Structure 1
Amino acid sequence: MLLVGLTLLSGNARAAEPSYDDYVAQVKAGKLDIDYTAFRMAYAASPKYEPYGAARALIGQIKKAYVAGDCPAAIAHAKEVLEVNFVQIDAHMVTASCLKKAGNEEEARRAHAVFIGLVRSVLGSGDGKSPETAFVVIGIDEEYSVMAALSLTLVRQALINHGGSAFDRMEVKKRDSDEIATLYFNVDRLQAQMARTFQNQSPQKIQ
């Protein structure tokens, strides 16, 4: 009986793990002290996960509007991105910055807290110095967000395989230096999602 009870408790614990939509609802309700790694991985495990989807094009529009100083347009594009991918780092960063400029300190603080939580989640997944200690990402945009957070610019990129996993090997440098360093990002989840997408396409669609 004890074993059965423990098994049931274990099963209930697994069932109680928040889904991606649960995390989104929590953050929108103001709960910011969440497990951001679990949040990111819940998105990657959800049917909404599209690392190569429409959000990628919108991210470019966010940055273009933000650099041009058009915060209303930047926030509007950020909202579009967050509707399909609420763990998109740059959307939260731009939202926080623009809201602060507009004097909306409380909403800016919340957006900034989510931005910091997501960046720290990626940075906490490794040190990026080798394939074995690579940063684990669920989107290409996370790679660029991390590089920006570390004040690095990309020099060269290559997709490599090592130990049965896929990695983006990024040669980077500080913005005020010519010294080249190398960072590794584990992209297994992106590669697996791409493979699933191709498998789900009919031969006619592929042609």
Structure 2
Amino acid sequence: MRLRHHKLSCLTFCLLGCAFVSTAFGLDSAKVAQAKYDALKAKVQGGDVNIDWREIRLDAVVADVDGAFDWHEANTAGVAAFNAGDYEGALRKGQEIIQHNIANGDGHFLVMAALKHLGKQEETTKEKLIVDQIVQSIMSSGDGKTVDTAWFTVSTSEEYFVIRILGLKPKSQALVKNGAHSFDRMTVVGEDGKESTLWFNTDTDIELTRRVGES
């Protein structure tokens, strides 16, 4: 079986359907975000996965914890290894990703899948819980159906992560401005071939791009 993201059966999303507005315009400095990220990462490494995953996701991207590390390249290599039956190789790539950013959902998903095929059930269960927590931290921010209830994501990569988790395929993407806020309108296709629209708040991505331009 080739690796691809599926709906996770044990996810119990609380789709609140309430309006959610990003506070991206009040983002911490990279130094402050790094300190917060380090504190939350230490808790996860100590076995506490019931942290504020929205906060650590945001801290990770503001602090740019990946630095020069190209996690997309590592993930591509890991998925290729998995699909070739090299589960140990896939595991190493996934672990490399989350070593740089412990809030990276794609990295945890790769590790979870590799561990499962290596027969390491206890470790698989732990990774699955983390994946669940990351996804829920995104999907509990709204229902993704409108601008007012858009899901809050800290990067475009998170948008595609959620889409894959839901078993959907992206068809098109459009940046939409609404007042002072920015959104990605994603047209997706389900397994039945039907199209639907998902909305993601992209204030964080836009604000960080602005910061880079001013630096």
Q: Tell me the TM-score normalized by structure 2.
A: 0.77
Which residue in 2 is equivalent to 1:26? 43
Match status 1:68 vs 2:84: yes
Point out the structure with max Rg over C-alpha. 1
Please show how residues 1-207 of structure 1 align to structure 2 within 5 Å.
19-48=36-65, 54-175=70-191, 177-200=192-215
Q: Which has the higher contact order (CA 8 A, sep 6+)?
A: 2
RMSD of aligned residue pairs (Cα, Å): 2.1
Q: Distance in 2 between matches of 1:198 and 1:82?
A: 28
Q: Distance in 1 between matches of 2:181 and 2:81?
A: 36
Which residue in 2 is equivalent to 1:12? none
- 1:137–1:185: 8 Å Cα contact kept in structure 2? yes
Q: How many residues align structurally?
A: 182
Higher helix share: 1
Q: Distance in 1 between matches of 2:180 and 2:83?
A: 40
The gaps in structure 1 that reach 5 residues or longer are: 1-14, 201-207
Q: CA deviation at 1:194?
A: 1.6
Counting aligned pairs with the same residue, the percent is 29
- 1:30–1:110: 8 Å Cα contact kept in structure 2? no
Letter in 2 for 1:83: Q
- 1:165–1:188: 8 Å Cα contact kept in structure 2? yes
* CA shift digits 1:73-113 (9 cap, x unpaired): 21121122112211110111111121122122222221111
Letter in 1 for 2:209: M
Which residue in 1 is equivalent to 2:14? none
- 2:62–2:208: 8 Å Cα contact kept in structure 1? no
The gaps in structure 2 that reach 5 residues or longer are: 1-31
